[in-house]
Amino acid sequence: MKHIGIWIDKEKAHIISVKEDSEDMTTVLSEIENFRIHGGSGTRLKGGPQDVVQDSKYLEREKHQFKAYFKKIVPLIKDADRIVIYGPAETGEKFNKELTTHYKDVGEKVKDVLKADSMTDNQTKALMRSYFKKDQQRIH
């Protein structure tokens, strides 16, 4: 059985393939821009001219960048038997939704989506190893 754990955030995804005696880790970097929306009042006078913030344009571009990011990850995980997704914020949830919507065969293999803070590479590997060890014990 091939178990894959993915630690994912907006900047990168660590894909860890867990085997009985080792783990292989591949990192995929995203190309998602950090958008800082500037705007607001152009003057200190009440009722003065306002700068219009076009955040819908930024959000749409970010959505396309997420899709491209997720598309780079899918070929690396499609042959897994079981997948668990970890990560801060909502990136893991977005990735899971993308899998279940557009990559149904891969989405069916996702067993868990869990929140986790930033970790070192060794902490990430240990987390994946312990998750799948517990998972194996539940199955048997």
Domains defined for the chain, CATH in brackets = 3-33+51-139 (3.30.420.60)
Name every residue whose Cβ is closer than 8 Å to that of residue 9 and which is 6 or more positions away in sequence.
Answer: 87, 88, 89, 91, 118
Residue 82: per-residue pLDDT = 93
DSSP 11: S
pLDDT tens sequence across 32-56: 887 665 555 455 556 555 555 567 8
13 versus 23: the higher-pLDDT residue is 13
CB-based contact 34:61 (threshold 8 Å): no
Q: Which pTM was predicted? A: 0.80
Q: Which two tokens stand for residue 126?
A: 């240990």
Q: Which two tokens stand for residue 49?
A: 């001219």
CA pair distance 13, 126, nearest whole angstrom:
16
In the chain, where do the E strands start and end? Answer: 3-8, 12-18, 23-29, 40-41, 50-51, 82-87, 110-115
Which residue type, as a one-letter code, is found at position 43?
Answer: T
